[in-house]
């Protein structure tokens, strides 16, 4: 346990005991939760409201609090103060500073040992176009969540689901087969090339269909950008009707699901190339997955068939208009509660098998969920998926429940996040309109460069590298510092803000702290430190001490933004300290050692925190 955690627990325990002597039972957890800093520092470091207990005892709140403040004694708390109905505590910073700083300068500061096995599936983009800005939020949230949970003590596995089965890839492969070349031109990044072919294919096909009025303008837009590809595909498909094309796509899809050699070769050639592109993009921003799962493998391994067989045997699925469908008639309030499905939400039937015999995404996702739980022996599976997929995710949990996988259904978490908007632009992969991750990173670096030129202490290659670290950090921070329930509007001037509440600001603060340590050129020696001077820096020391509670809370609530906010606050306090209190020029050796320990603790905490957000903490910039 950590210094401040123990101290809070001890304080609350004493409060509980004192209340018990007065004759009321208090819930320790409830007291602990209500413990919060008062509005201003002269009122105390922490306060706990006791109105409720005063009422139970038929006392005036102040009288109760006053009485307790005189009775309770806690080592590490130097004073208790009664303010209205609040019992406020002043921490004896001199008393706790040694242990607190000892903990804070360790490599593993802020880690926990809470057992648990969790799978985090994230990013999982359709392999038909490059990663785009929507995936960026998904990726950085998922990556940070995995790191936060590992830090919490969990065994964590990250997985990427390759959707190589289904209508979307089939459209792409179909178009490529018609064009007679599966591979992209040498000079082009594969995912980008396929993205163009995919959007053109969609437009060419759909402008023959019932929604042609909508699609013709899109096709013309694409024609102006990629005239050769549009022309080529139009030529190849000119004799075919919309219905014929769809029949051929459906046949191709079936051939792949049936693992026919030629289809396999085509699909795999294409999808592998796209995945190479994904990996290349993710490498630039430092995101890697532990396991890559291929949707087709689920089909070929017989897992999907097993699900279908089971559904039929259990009598939960029936044939309707030639398709195999689950209806969720069994759904009641208890199941809704357990599977976190809103009371009034109507759940439409789920089609498991189309009338043409092919399966759907959600069907395969049932098999995939089972695989994720079983292969890793997971307690919980977290799917990082956009909020717009709430309904299919609910259907997935219900289908698992109906099939008898109740534990999996209950422990499958849809980590739903809101969209990322670009002002004045409606993104659409099918329409070839998107902000790609690759472009985003390049553009950010380009914009950051002049700013780095102005300020950086570095030269040459190192300076180039810092521009990338700052640019990527800024994007990550923008994605991860806002709660997942709020849509993000992506604006460069907000994302590339270098002032407070930004990754560059925190990175800079870290570099400053490390700079002091580098110049001091001596090992921090806590035995020589004079802790009687700690009181003068109470705010900063207490803030450093909060870090473990923040990492724990971030893990429990799956909330990376809590770390982001904390790091920003810690940076603010450190910068104030930096400005007012010279460290290396401190004449008093004991005091200097204390200050050095604080600086080291700050540097370490900032680095650890940035790690949890997946953001690099450079030592110079």
Q: Which of residues 203-262 bind RNA (CB under 7 A)?
A: none
Q: Which is nearer to RNA, 157 or 502 (CB)?
A: 502
What values do phi and psi take at 353, rounded to 5? -130, 130
The binding track of 468-487 with respect to RNA, each residue x by CB under 7 A or -, is: --x-----------xx-xxx
- DSSP state letter for 357: S
* Binding of RNA by 52 (CB under 7 A): yes
Contact 368, 298 (CB under 8 A): yes
What values do phi and psi take at 149, rounded to 5? -70, -35
* Binding of RNA by 321 (CB under 7 A): yes
Token look-up 């590809």 returns 229
* Three-state DSSP state, 317: strand
Query: Using CB under 7 A, which of 112, 226, 300, 361 touches RNA?
Result: 361
User: How far is CA 58 from its chain centroid?
Assistant: 48
Q: Kindly list the distances between the CA atom of residue 169 and the CA atoms of 50, 195, 232, in Å, as whole numbers in the listed order.
A: 61, 11, 19
Q: Which is nearer to RNA, 76 or 515 (CB)?
A: 515
DSSP 120-137: EE-----TTS--BHHHHH
Beta-strand pair 380-386/350-353: unpaired
Query: Using CB under 7 A, which of 189, 192, 223, 354 touches RNA?
Result: 354
Q: Which is nearer to RNA, 238 or 579 (CB)?
A: 579
* Binding of RNA by 112 (CB under 7 A): no
Query: Using CB under 7 A, which of 247, 265, 288, 500 touches RNA?
Result: 500
Q: How far is the CB of 586 from RNA (least distance, A)?
A: 8
Q: Which is nearer to RNA, 246 or 272 (CB)?
A: 246
C-alpha torsion sign, points 588, 591, 597, 600: negative
β-bridge partners, 328: none
Q: Which is nearer to RNA, 454 or 523 (CB)?
A: 454
Query: Using CB under 7 A, which of 466, 479, 541, 615 touches RNA?
Result: 466
Kindly tell me the burial class for residue 44, based on how many C-beta atoms sit within 10 Å of its own C-beta (0-12, 13-18, 19 or more): buried
* Binding of RNA by 167 (CB under 7 A): yes
3-class SS shares of the chain: helix, strand, coil, % to 5: 60, 10, 30
Query: Using CB under 7 A, which of 10, 155, 251, 387 touches RNA?
Result: 387
Q: Which stretch binds RNA (CB under 7 A): 45-53, 139-147, 276-284, 305-313?
A: 45-53
**Two tokens at 253?**
């899809």
Query: Using CB under 7 A, which of 76, 130, 142, 166 touches RNA?
Result: 166
* Binding of RNA by 9 (CB under 7 A): no
Query: Using CB under 7 A, which of 389, 443, 538, 539 touches RNA?
Result: 389
Q: Which is nearer to RNA, 217 or 487 (CB)?
A: 487
Please work out the total of residues on this chain that contact RNA, with binding judged by CB under 7 A.
101
Q: Which is nearer to RNA, 51 or 492 (CB)?
A: 51
> What residues have CB less than 8 Å from 464, skipping those under 6 apart?
none
Q: Which is nearer to RNA, 185 or 587 (CB)?
A: 587
* Three-state DSSP state, 540: helix
> What residues have CB less than 8 Å from 169, skipping those under 6 apart?
126, 127, 128, 163, 267, 270, 271
Measure the N-to-C terminal CA separation of the chain; round to a whole number of Å: 35
Q: How far is the CB of 183 from RNA (least distance, A)?
A: 25
* Binding of RNA by 22 (CB under 7 A): no
Q: Which stretch binds RNA (CB under 7 A): 173-181, 191-199, 298-306, 502-510?
A: 502-510
Q: How far is the CB of 411 from RNA (least distance, A)?
A: 17
Q: How far is the CB of 458 from RNA (least distance, A)?
A: 8
Kindly tell me the burial class for residue 148, based on how many C-beta atoms sit within 10 Å of its own C-beta (0-12, 13-18, 19 or more): buried
Number of H helices, E strands in the chain: 25, 13
Q: Which stretch binds RNA (CB under 7 A): 215-223, 352-360, 370-378, 400-408?
A: 352-360
Q: Footprint of RNA on residues 538-597 (CB under 7 A)?
A: 556-557, 559, 561-562, 565, 568-569, 572, 575-585
* Binding of RNA by 163 (CB under 7 A): yes
């Amino acid at each position: 346990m950590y210094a401040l955690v123990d101290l809070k627990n001890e304080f609350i325990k004493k409060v509980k005991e004192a209340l018990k002597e007065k004759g009321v039972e208090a819930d320790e957890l409830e007291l602990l939760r209500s413990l919060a800093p008062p509005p201003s520092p002269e009122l105390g470091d922490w306060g706990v409201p006791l109105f409720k207990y005063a009422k139970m005892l038929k006392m005036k709140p102040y009288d109760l609090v006053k009485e307790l403040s005189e009775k309770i004694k806690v080592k590490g708390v130097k004073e208790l103060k009664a303010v209205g109905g609040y019992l406020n505590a002043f921490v004896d910073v001199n008393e706790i500073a040694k242990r607190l700083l000892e903990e804070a300068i360790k490599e593993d500061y802020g880690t926990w040992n809470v057992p648990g096995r969790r799978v985090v599936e994230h990013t999982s983009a359709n392999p038909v176009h490059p990663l785009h800005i929507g995936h960026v939020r998904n990726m950085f949230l998922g990556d940070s969540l995995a790191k936060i949970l590992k830090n919490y003590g969990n065994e964590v596995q990250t997985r990427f689901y390759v959707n190589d089965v289904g209508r979307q890839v089939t459209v792409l492969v179909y178009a490529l087969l018609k064009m007679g070349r599966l591979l992209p031109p040498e000079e082009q990044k594969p995912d980008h090339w396929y993205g163009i072919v995919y959007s053109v294919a969609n437009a060419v096909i759909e402008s023959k269909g019932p929604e042609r009025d909508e699609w013709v303008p899109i096709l013309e837009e694409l024609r102006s950008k990629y005239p050769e590809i549009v022309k080529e595909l139009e030529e190849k498909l000119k004799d075919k009707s919309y219905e014929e094309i769809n029949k051929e796509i459906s046949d191709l899809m079936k051939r792949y699901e049936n693992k026919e050699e030629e289809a396999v070769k085509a699909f795999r050639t294409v999808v592998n190339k796209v995945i190479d592109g994904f990996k290349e993009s993710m490498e630039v921003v430092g995101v890697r997955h532990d396991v890559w799962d291929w949707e087709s493998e689920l089909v070929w391994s017989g897992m999907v068939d097993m699900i279908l067989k089971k559904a039929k045997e259990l009598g939960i699925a029936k044939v309707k208009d030639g398709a195999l469908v689950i209806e969720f008639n069994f759904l009641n309030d208890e199941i809704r509660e357990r599977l976190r499905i809103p009371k009034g939400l109507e759940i439409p039937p789920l089609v498991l098998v189309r009338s043409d015999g092919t399966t759907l995404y959600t069907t395969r996702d049932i098999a995939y969920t089972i695989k994720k739980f079983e292969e890793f022996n997971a307690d919980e599976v977290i799917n990082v998926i956009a909020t717009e997929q709430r309904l299919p995710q609910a259907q997935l949990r219900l289908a698992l429940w109906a099939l008898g996988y109740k534990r999996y259904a209950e422990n499958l978490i849809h980590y739903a996040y809101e969209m990322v908007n670009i002002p004045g632009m409606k993104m659409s992969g099918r329409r070839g309109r998107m902000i790609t991750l690759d472009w985003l990173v390049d553009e950010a670096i380009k914009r950051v460069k002049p700013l780095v030129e102005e300020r950086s202490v570095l030269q040459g290659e190192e300076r180039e590298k810092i521009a990338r670290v700052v640019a990527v950090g800024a994007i990550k921070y923008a994605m991860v510092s806002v709660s997942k329930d709020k849509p993000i509007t992506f604006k460069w001037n907000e994302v590339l803000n270098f002032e407070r509440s930004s990754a560059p600001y925190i990175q800079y603060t870290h570099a400053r702290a490390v700079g002091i340590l580098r110049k001091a050129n001596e090992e921090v020696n806590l035995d020589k430190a004079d802790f009687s001077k700690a009181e003068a820096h109470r705010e900063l020391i207490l803030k450093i001490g909060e870090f473990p509670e923040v990492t724990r809370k971030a893990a429990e609530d799956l909330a990376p933004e809590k770390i982001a906010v904390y790091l920003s606050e810690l940076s603010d306090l450190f910068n104030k300290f930096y400005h007012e209190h010279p460290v290396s020029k401190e004449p008093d050796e004991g005091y200097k050692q204390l200050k050095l320990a604080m600086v080291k603790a700050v540097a370490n905490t900032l680095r650890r925190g940035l790690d949890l957000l997946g953001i690099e903490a450079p030592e110079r910039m």
